[in-house]
A and B are shown apart, each in its own frame.
Chain A
Amino acid sequence: MPTSRASVQRRTSSLSRVLLTVTAGFFALSASTVFAKDTLTVYTYESFTSEWGPGPVVKEAFEKTCDCELNFVALDSSTGILSRVQLEGESTRADVVLGLDTNLMALAEDTGLLEPSGVDTSALSLPIEWNSDVFVPFDYGYFAFVYDTEQLPEPPTSFDALIDAPDDLKIIIQDPRTSTPGLGLLLWMKSVYGDAAAEKWEALQPKILTVTKGWSEAYFSLFLAGEAPMVLSYSTSPGYHMAIDETEQYQAAAFDEGHYLQVEVAALLKSSKNKELGRKFLSFMLTPEFQTAIPLTNVMYPATDIGDELPEAFTRLIEPANTLLIDSATVRDQRKAWIDEWLEATTR
């Protein structure tokens, strides 16, 4: 019967159409897997990837140099980057970790999860000599207390002065267990006071309004909202306000004892399946495209000499009287004891 034949035909044609679609889909799928762009996954801290941070600029510039995708994963804190890859072990999805610092280097290297970078670091221009073949520095800065000149016209000029100031001078600091500036402050106090650090922490306790998990919450959410007149940050932070906001309201307090240096670094993971691309990214960090973006997006000094590209505001920053740094092997050995000491002193 014609009707039934037509329906059979219709059924066959619809069947073949389904088959065709499935096959086409299959091919499209396999094609997309074959020609899929390589993806480089980078674990970093939150402020690096924010819209005003270096993340978006770096992503665009790097993706131009390769047929690949750069995927930043923002973790809730900077030390969190390290504990996260430790927790994930071999099965981590990260190819590169970005945002550890000089203090954490020995600790990170001891995990056995990192691999030598093979990057030529001769272009570096840092206040210290660089001799690690695992870590590649991308910027540096000095820890400093940044203050609001409108709330605090005359800031303390040393740790002693800060500790002796009246108790209504409140500061916001970060937790040394989670944040690299927090650990920086711990080591800064340690290099200034040595064995007396614990009692100085106890004396400083009444000034501490709160201890935040990461730098962003302390700086943006609390300090800039006017919750406290002083916050632990970097000597370079005022550079952003002077260059972008065109205001002198926020300044860094120069301390007589000197300032503690932080060099921020990135490294390649042994477990990465994209090592070539990872190395390419680590080299890219030292090119002018990356380095010139640093001062006004990450608000740190670039790790290489970028000459005239350094914003004018950066020439008006405080110069530390004395550069302090504890070598990372000592930090690795003492970190737990010093953090316990800090916990003990600040909860007494």
Chain B
Amino acid sequence: MSGWKPPHVNDVMSRFLSPGLAALLLLFVVSATALPFIALVQTAEQLNVLEVLNNVWIQRVITFSVWQAFLSTLLSIGLAIPVAIALSREPHFPGRQWLLNAFSLSLVMPTVVAIFGIVTVYGRTGWLSSVLNHVGLEPISLYGLNGILLAHVFFNLPLATRIFLVALDGIPSSQWRLSAQLGIHGFARLRHIEWPAIRSHIAGTAVLIFALCLSSFAVVLTLGGGPRATTIEVAIYQALRFDFDLGTAVSLAFIQLFICVLVLTLGSLWKQNVPTAFSNTDHHANWRPATQWRATNAFIIALASGFTLLPVVGLLTSALNPAFVRVVLSSSTTEALINTILVGLSSASLSCLMGIGLLLVARHCQYRWKWLRTSLWIRQAGNSILVMPPLVLGTGYFLLLRPYADVFSLALWLVIMTNALLGLPFVLKILEAPIHQMADSHDRLIQSLGIRGWARVRWIDWPTLKPAGGFAFGIAASLSAGDLSAIALFGSDRVTTLPLLLYQRMGSYRMQEAAVTAVLLLLTCLLLFMLSHWATRSTRRTETVQEHA
């Protein structure tokens, strides 16, 4: 009876404290997103966006942004379809699971690290060029559209393949049995069974990839070859950092925002098929008939593996160079490493706090107050940050704070804040299902037992949320630690993180130092991801043991 409290105190706690705190978080999320946006609007009032649109070069930048996103989407989807089919037809291919794990790895692999790997393999002095040289062919140039497309396919081919593979694995066994009985083979099998399963996912996946490539920053910044290959995101950065041209930066931010909203609105037309890119569960394929076209399948799988794994191998081998110890021990590296870990952990905590807060408020609205529309709206609000590209958000913060403080001395805080907001949609996506499922099935029971307020959070919500929470935290932490956009805007000689240091070292072609930095960054992100995953798992196990005891 020691834990018992008079009911009215508990009632006050549940009525005000828990929803109150959650509402406070909601307020924080809203102001953190809205204030920079208001700062942008206020500045935009004094300028003419149309004037910027009249600039021929800006028009080309906009066209190029859309064009490269279109080509990247086309290539990624077009290549992912045969890879997914080959993988689905070869459920027992040696190293298949290993390859799929490697595909998931690309989710937590920082963009700059992957770019470095791509340069070592496909760059002017890379492996492929030296092979071409031997054969007597010209080396390929990676700078410009070629490099951008290659990098975008590198990131999005695994993403699309995973989505299509889930779709293929979802084909019911009954359908397979029927097709086997009817003797549907080869192209007919592709046309009547596999293709319809994939087709329903193409539009949603395409919109997702298109949106990702449209606001791609790090790839275009590092591989874009000067003014000919510039996207709106990079042009915002250039207007702000090169020219101190706030007017152009803000106008571009609005143009970017407009296009993103347009794309995602179009995308929501296919909403039911917008795939979940981050699924925490392993999919078990249904029974399917014997494999066909084995040689072709093996060839496609080998090609896809080579394409995605070679850059990682290139990165690891080039990091083992004489500069390794010197770079790891240098004060600039250790400082950047500490900042990177700090940014990763802080923004992931903030993302999770905001995400859980939003979802709890939404849950309360839905189950207690029956405000179904408000609940939906709150969840949508968090997702809407997806249309706010990091550079736009960063520009907003910049304008907001510049009158009051030296923005560069606040760099770390701004990076944490921006990255926390960017991680929020992922956190929401991962935590939404567990929070609502639990409320769906147990809310009445919990209510009738009188478990409320902190007791509910401690004994009911937290244990059920923990595994998904760990996964969400890991994703948010590694995304934030590996991100280049916010730190490129706010970083300086005073505040660097590993992604910025890597970008600078690549920019001045100090490739040995860059290789070591890249490996260090990759390890940091992997560790952040795996540790948070592992931490929540292991405690869960001990609790289960206690329960049994």
A89–B405 CA distance with the chains assembled, in angstroms: 10
Interface check B408, CB cutoff 8 A: yes
If A82-B244, A177-B242 are given as contacts, then 13 extra A-B residue pairs at C-beta distance below 8 Å, sorted by A number, are A46-B508, A74-B493, A75-B493, A76-B507, A80-B241, A80-B242, A87-B407, A210-B143, A225-B509, A227-B124, A344-B57, A346-B227, A346-B228
| B504/A211 in contact, CB under 8 A | no
Residues 200-213 of A, flagged 1 when their CB comes within 8 A of B and 0 if not, give 00000000001101
Of A215-223, A238-246, A317-325, the segment with at least 4 beta carbons within 8 Å of chain B is A215-223
17 A–B contact pairs at CB < 8 A?
A79-B242, A83-B242, A87-B244, A87-B408, A88-B407, A89-B402, A89-B406, A92-B406, A178-B242, A211-B227, A222-B509, A340-B55, A340-B57, A344-B56, A344-B57, A346-B226, A347-B227
| B242/A210 in contact, CB under 8 A | no
Contacts of B509 in A (CB 8 A): 217, 220-222, 225
Q: Using a CB-CB cutoff of 8 Å, which residues 33-72 of chain B contact chain A?
A: 55-57, 60
Residues 353-392 of B, flagged 1 when their CB comes within 8 A of A and 0 if not, give 0000000000000000000000000000000000000000
Interface check A274, CB cutoff 8 A: no
Checking B124, B226, B244, B409 against A83 with a beta-carbon cut-off of 8 angstroms, the contacting residue is: B244
Beyond A75-B493, A83-B243, A83-B244, whether A217 also contacts B227 by CB under 8 A is no
| B244/A216 in contact, CB under 8 A | no
Distance to closest chain A CB from B415 (angstroms): 16
| Interface residues, chain A, with chain B CB atoms under 8 Å away | 46, 73-76, 79-80, 82-84, 86-89, 91-93, 175, 177-178, 210-211, 213, 216-217, 220-222, 225, 227, 340, 343-344, 346-347
Interface check B275, CB cutoff 8 A: no
Checking A46, A74, A93, A210 against B226 with a beta-carbon cut-off of 8 angstroms, the contacting residue is: A210
Distance to closest chain B CB from A94 (angstroms): 11
* CB nearest to A216 among chain B residues: B508
| A211/B225 in contact, CB under 8 A | yes
Contacts of A84 in B (CB 8 A): 492
A217–B225 CA distance with the chains assembled, in angstroms: 14
* CB nearest to B229 among chain A residues: A347
A91–B408 CA distance with the chains assembled, in angstroms: 10
| B57/A177 in contact, CB under 8 A | no
Q: Which 10 A-B pairs have the closest CB atoms?
A: A211-B226, A221-B509, A91-B406, A343-B57, A86-B244, A83-B244, A177-B242, A344-B56, A347-B228, A343-B227
| B60/A177 in contact, CB under 8 A | no
Contacts of B409 in A (CB 8 A): 91
A80–B241 CA distance with the chains assembled, in angstroms: 8
Interface check B238, CB cutoff 8 A: yes
A79–B124 CA distance with the chains assembled, in angstroms: 29
A82–B241 CA distance with the chains assembled, in angstroms: 10
Contacts of B406 in A (CB 8 A): 88-89, 91-93
Distance to closest chain B CB from A340 (angstroms): 6
A345–B227 CA distance with the chains assembled, in angstroms: 10
| A177/B238 in contact, CB under 8 A | yes
Contacts of A222 in B (CB 8 A): 509
* CB nearest to A346 among chain B residues: B227
| B241/A88 in contact, CB under 8 A | no
Distance to closest chain B CB from A295 (angstroms): 24
A227–B125 CA distance with the chains assembled, in angstroms: 10
Distance to closest chain B CB from A202 (angstroms): 12
| B243/A177 in contact, CB under 8 A | yes
Contacts of A211 in B (CB 8 A): 225-227
Pick the most buried of A88, A222, A225: most chain B CB atoms within 10 A of its CB: A88
Contacts of B508 in A (CB 8 A): 46, 216-217, 221
* CB nearest to A222 among chain B residues: B509
Distance to closest chain A CB from B511 (angstroms): 9
* CB nearest to B143 among chain A residues: A210
Contacts of A225 in B (CB 8 A): 509
A31–B143 CA distance with the chains assembled, in angstroms: 55
Distance to closest chain A CB from B402 (angstroms): 7
Distance to closest chain A CB from B321 (angstroms): 17
Contacts of B60 in A (CB 8 A): 347
Q: Using a CB-CB cutoff of 8 Å, which residues 104-161 of chain B contact chain A?
A: 124, 143
Pick the most buried of B226, B402, B408: most chain A CB atoms within 10 A of its CB: B226
* CB nearest to B405 among chain A residues: A91
* CB nearest to B504 among chain A residues: A76
A86–B379 CA distance with the chains assembled, in angstroms: 40
Contacts of A92 in B (CB 8 A): 406
* CB nearest to A83 among chain B residues: B244
Contacts of A175 in B (CB 8 A): 226-227
A1–B178 CA distance with the chains assembled, in angstroms: 95
Distance to closest chain B CB from A166 (angstroms): 16
Contacts of A79 in B (CB 8 A): 242
Contacts of A93 in B (CB 8 A): 406
A165–B134 CA distance with the chains assembled, in angstroms: 29
* CB nearest to A339 among chain B residues: B243
Contacts of A83 in B (CB 8 A): 241-244
Distance to closest chain B CB from A224 (angstroms): 11
Contacts of B57 in A (CB 8 A): 340, 343-344, 347
Q: Using a CB-CB cutoff of 8 Å, which residues 491-511 of chain B contact chain A?
A: 492-493, 504, 507-509
Distance to closest chain A CB from B226 (angstroms): 3
Distance to closest chain B CB from A143 (angstroms): 19
A340–B406 CA distance with the chains assembled, in angstroms: 30
Contacts of B241 in A (CB 8 A): 80, 83, 87
Residues 225-239 of B, flagged 1 when their CB comes within 8 A of A and 0 if not, give 111100000000010
Q: Using a CB-CB cutoff of 8 Å, which residues 480-499 of chain B contact chain A?
A: 492-493
Contacts of B242 in A (CB 8 A): 79-80, 83, 177-178
* CB nearest to B509 among chain A residues: A221
Pick the most buried of A89, A227, A340, A343: most chain B CB atoms within 10 A of its CB: A343
A46–B243 CA distance with the chains assembled, in angstroms: 19
Distance to closest chain A CB from B395 (angstroms): 12
Distance to closest chain B CB from A95 (angstroms): 15
A74–B228 CA distance with the chains assembled, in angstroms: 28
Distance to closest chain A CB from B412 (angstroms): 16
A76–B243 CA distance with the chains assembled, in angstroms: 14
* CB nearest to B230 among chain A residues: A347
Residues 456-498 of B, flagged 1 when their CB comes within 8 A of A and 0 if not, give 0000000000000000000000000000000000001100000
Contacts of B504 in A (CB 8 A): 76
